[in-house]
């Protein structure tokens, strides 16, 4: 109720443009804050809500007085008079960090299995980024990069632990690679499961590549022998177990080398990437 009252005041009463967010461990819990707004818009009781909801969303060319001023949209709840928006954000650092909301409410934080400091992510310079940069203060940048390297260290340890143990390649599992539909891990256990499936996927791909290479070499060798040509083609047929061992070693070397090279980079090397991400918010053609 408190979160709804705070969000409602700045969305309906405050005349300035505001970006507001609400977050919770699950979308159902977050919807507890959004649902009363949708109900109020639908019922339109009282002079304020009658005024804000009268009109039509389809009326985009006529008088502004005949257009709806407050509506529930795909983005969230929008106040078109002030240009304000209240939206739901997933409770994860990568979805909350770097935002500059005027109002943010966090619901059911302690009741969920959340391993990340989502409150800290919202607080860490969320509304001070412009001030930091205009004053030449790189505090927020350093916090961002430190968090990046912290996560890389965590994943490096997880992958090495996975690769140090036998992986069941016959287990029937599903791995989602499409970023738009892939869900973020809520805790370390889920993160480990996802990385194990990703490593397994790469091992199976490597084994398939070895098989394809064998078949290609065999075809070449058969062709050479058929036409009585000089046979210089080396053909080594590996057993499934030999392929598994070789593929696992290849994937382990690749993963290890990837994290090693990443950690060797100077943290300030990311500054250009960081600044370009910032400037493109205002103009996609502006680069640092």
Assign 249 a pLDDT band (cuts: 50, 70, 90). very high
Interval 16-21 mean pLDDT: 78
Q: Tell me what pLDDT residue 147 has.
A: 87
Q: Is the pLDDT of residue 281 over 80?
A: no
Q: Are 143 and 267 in contact (CB under 8 A)?
A: no
Interval 244-251 mean pLDDT: 95
Q: Tell me what pLDDT residue 114 has.
A: 60
Q: Is the pLDDT of residue 129 over 70?
A: no
Q: Is residue 134 situated within a structural domain? A: no
DSSP 268: G
In the chain, the number of structural domains is: 2
Q: Are 250 and 213 in contact (CB under 8 A)?
A: no
Q: Are strands 19-24 and 84-90 parallel, antiparallel or unpaired?
A: parallel
pLDDT, tens only, 136-186: 888 888 888 888 899 999 999 999 999 999 999 999 999 998 888 888 888
Q: Rounded distance, CA 72 to CA 182, Å?
A: 26
pLDDT, tens only, 30-44: 778 888 888 888 888
Q: Is the pLDDT of residue 109 over 70?
A: no
Residue with token string 């994290």:
259
Comparing 40-54, 101-115, 221-235, 245-259, the range with the smallest average pLDDT is 101-115
Pick left, alpha or beta for residue 44 (phi over 0 → left; psi -120 to 50 → alpha; otherwise beta). left
Last residue of a domain, one of 108, 127, 146: 127
Assign 108 a pLDDT band (cuts: 50, 70, 90). low
Domain that includes residue 9, residue range = 2-127
Q: Are 198 and 175 in contact (CB under 8 A)?
A: yes
Last residue of a domain, one of 112, 127, 142: 127
Length of the chain, in residues: 288
Residue that wins the pLDDT comparison between 197 and 102: 197
3-state helix, strand, coil in the chain (%, to 5): 55, 10, 35
The pLDDT > 90 percentage for the chain reads 27
Assign 55 a pLDDT band (cuts: 50, 70, 90). confident
Q: Are strands 19-24 and 103-106 parallel, antiparallel or unpaired?
A: parallel
DSSP codes joined into one string, 93-111: HHHHTT---SEEEE-STTT
Statement to judge: residues 175 and 225 lie in one domain:
yes
Q: Is the pLDDT of residue 115 over 70?
A: no
Comparing 119-123, 137-141, 188-192, 251-255, the range with the smallest average pLDDT is 119-123
Q: Are 221 and 230 in contact (CB under 8 A)?
A: no
**How far is CA 106 from each of CA 22, 95, 118, 119, rounded to the nearest angstrom?**
6, 13, 8, 8
Q: Which two tokens stand for residue 255?
A: 């993963």
Statement to judge: residues 57 and 117 lie in one domain:
yes
Statement to judge: residues 196 and 77 lie in one domain:
no
User: Which ranges of 54-187 would DSSP assign to H, the alpha helix?
Assistant: 93-96, 118-123, 129-134, 139-163
Q: Is residue 146 situated within a structural domain? A: no
Gyration radius from the chain CA atoms: 27
Q: Is the pLDDT of residue 112 over 60?
A: no
- The sign of the dihedral angle between the CA atoms of 9, 36, 101, 126 is positive
Statement to judge: residues 229 and 112 lie in one domain:
no
């Amino acid at each position: 109720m408190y979160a709804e009252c705070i969000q409602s005041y700045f969305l309906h009463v405050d005349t300035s443009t505001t970006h507001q967010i609400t977050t919770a461990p699950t979308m159902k819990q977050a919807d507890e804050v959004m649902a009363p707004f949708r109900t109020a818009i639908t019922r339109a009781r009282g002079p304020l809500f009658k005024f804000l909801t009268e009109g039509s969303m389809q009326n985009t060319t006529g008088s502004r007085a005949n257009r709806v001023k407050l509506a529930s949209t795909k983005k969230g709840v929008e106040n078109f008079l002030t240009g304000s928006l209240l939206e739901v954000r997933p409770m994860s650092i990568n979805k909350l960090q770097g935002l500059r909301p005027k109002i943010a409410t966090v619901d059911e934080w302690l009741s969920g299995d959340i391993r990340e400091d989502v409150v800290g992510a919202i607080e860490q310079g969320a509304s001070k980024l412009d001030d930091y940069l205009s004053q030449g203060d790189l505090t927020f940048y350093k916090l961002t990069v430190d968090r990046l390297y912290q996560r890389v260290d965590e994943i490096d340890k997880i992958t090495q632990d996975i690769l140090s143990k036998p992986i069941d390649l016959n287990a029937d599992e599903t791995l989602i690679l499409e970023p738009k539909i892939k869900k973020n891990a809520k805790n370390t256990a889920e993160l480990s499961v996802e990385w194990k499936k990703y490593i397994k996927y790469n091992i199976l791909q490597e084994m398939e590549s070895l098989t394809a290479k064998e078949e290609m070499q065999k075809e070449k060798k058969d062709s050479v022998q058929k036409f009585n040509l000089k046979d210089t083609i080396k053909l080594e047929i590996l057993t499934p177990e030999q392929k598994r061992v070789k593929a696992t070693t290849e994937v382990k070397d690749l993963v290890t080398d990837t994290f090693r090279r990443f950690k060797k980079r100077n943290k300030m090397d990311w500054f250009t990437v960081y600044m370009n991400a910032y400037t493109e918010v205002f103009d996609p053609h502006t680069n640092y």
